[in-house]
Amino acid sequence: MYDRIKGFRDFYPGEMAARRAAIDTIEERARSYGFREIGTPALERAELWTDKSGDDIVDELYAFEDQGGRHVTLTPELTPTVARMVVAKQQELSKPIKWFSTRPFWRYEQVQQGRQREFYQTNVDIFGSSEPEADAEILAWAADALTGLGLSGDHFEFRISHRDILGGVLETYDADVDVDDAIRAVDKSDKLETAEYHDLLVDAGLEDDQAAEFDDLVASGDLEAVEEFADTERVTDAVENLQRVLEAAEDFGAREYCTISLETARGLDYYTGVVFECFDSAGEVSRSIFGGGRYDDLIESFGGQPTPAVGVAPGHATLSLLCQRAGVWPDEEVTTDYYVLQIGDTRSEAARICRELRERGQVVETDVAGRSFGAQLNYADSINAETVVIVGEQDLANDEVTIKDMETGDQTQVAVDEFPGDRERPTFDDFD
């Protein structure tokens, strides 16, 4: 026996059926907003990450040297890849560029609730618009995707903030404050003890009393108090932008899910404006369901023309935990519309029935293992077949087949040339 590698998952048919139903809902909502699906490679040059984050990030990657001597890695996230793609065809692409994709990613990190080393995300991004409506559309899509899965505002909330509010407040203190380090501390604050968080702020350059003051101000979420404290153009502009995004979100139907939370910072340095994270309202899922925000400088940093961008990336592991807690995760079971059961030398007629049902878009199975009547019927039950079509030699001699409803056990004989006939989805009730 070979053991599965830690941090990687197998998905058996029932689990995969539930995942597929959820993915289909999420992607259907993306298409309804005009987002276009893209495909991206599993392998990229490691420099896409090391050039921005330093060589130490290699410890978090599945990176190696390939046979051509290139330093490559399995992709740990999508944003650098889509940035590369935008830069490659920037002049040809109509703006705004609205893309989505669902695929796996890989990070070598500690396995925990809602996070494996191989994990799946649906990324949704808009490139080419700096307007608040673009941020609001991302929020609206995320809300539609979640409610499409059966969730409601009782199950989740979007905590929304603006990076320039935090940066502007921090700049009012001392020139020696490392703003990026302080923002990263804010991003970790909900996972740290108060004293540990305070120490990180001090390490970033704040005095003890300043760290306490900053913590109180941020925790209040009071935008008026923030503007009054940091009377700077950067903070004023950021507050105005955040308010305009929320106003647009109101019109787009997503405002009811949004809570202003200045403690929401997003730790990645490429975020530049509005940022948000989705959380389980009951707090039973120990990490954010997903996060996103604006990253207006990234395309230019990859060698492209200045291009504003905003996006979000729901993780399927945490999303499934939220749906399971709320009782709306799709049933983890396979379903089958028809099982065509063969008795004796009836393959030709059984195959005809299978073909005609499949042409109507139905899920159809039939015997391919030479099993007995009882074994076939047990198998039909195990795959949750709704209807069994019994094609037996005696029935065919009478120009009939038998239709059996698997839920009730009722069955009836039908003329063979009337099944399936012109019906799209014939069942026992059509012939009773």
Q: 157 and 266: one domain?
A: yes
φ, ψ of residue 243 in degrees (nearest 5): -65, -35
Give the end of a domain, one of 300, 326, 352.
326
Give the end of a domain, one of 326, 349, 382.
326
Which pLDDT score is estimated for 267? 63
Specify the number of domains making up the chain: 2
Three-class SS of residue 403?
A: strand
Q: 359 and 378: one domain?
A: yes
Q: 90 among the known binding-site residues?
A: no
Higher pLDDT, 136 or 174: 136
pLDDT at 185 over 80: yes
Q: 266 among the known binding-site residues?
A: yes
Q: 79 among the known binding-site residues?
A: yes
| CATH label of the domain that carries residue 276 | 3.30.930.10
Answer yes or no: are the C-beta atoms of 239 and 228 closer than 8 Å: no
Tokens, residue 427: 């069942």
Q: 371 among the known binding-site residues?
A: no
Within 10 angstroms of residue 297's Cβ, the number of other Cβ atoms is 16
Q: 91 and 151: one domain?
A: yes
CB-based contacts of 67-74 (< 8 A; 24+ apart in sequence): 70/45, 71/45, 71/46, 71/47, 72/43, 72/44, 72/45, 72/46, 73/43, 73/44, 73/45, 73/46, 73/49, 74/42, 74/43, 74/105, 74/106
Averaged pLDDT of the chain: 92
Q: 244 and 157: one domain?
A: yes
Q: 362 and 415: one domain?
A: yes
Q: 386 among the known binding-site residues?
A: no
Span 71-102, pLDDT tens digits: 999 999 999 999 999 999 999 999 999 999 99
Q: 293 and 396: one domain?
A: no
Quick check: pTM over 0.95?
no
pLDDT band of 161, cuts 50, 70, 90: very high
Task: Check the CA dihedral 52-57-61-64 and report its sign.
Answer: positive
Q: 321 and 341: one domain?
A: no
Q: 19 among the known binding-site residues?
A: no
Span 216-272, pLDDT tens digits: 888 888 888 888 888 789 999 999 999 999 999 999 999 999 999 988 887 667 789
Question: What one-letter code names the amino acid at 29?
Answer: R
Q: 427 among the known binding-site residues?
A: no
CA atoms within 13 A on the CB side of 82: 29
Residue 45 belongs to a domain:
no
pLDDT at 198 over 90: no
Q: 296 and 342: one domain?
A: no
Q: 379 among the known binding-site residues?
A: no
Give the end of a domain, one of 326, 359, 389.
326
DSSP letters for 320-360: HHHHHHHT-SPP-S--EEEEEEEESS-HHHHHHHHHHHHHT
Print the domain residue range for 33.
Answer: 13-40+75-172+232-326
pLDDT at 175 over 70: no
Q: How far is Cα 337 from Cα 328, in angstroms, rounded to an integer? A: 23
Residue located via tokens 């793609």:
85
Residue 183 belongs to a domain:
no
CA atoms within 13 A on the CB side of 192: 16
Q: 271 among the known binding-site residues?
A: yes
Nearest-10 Cα torsion for 258, 259, 262, 267: -50
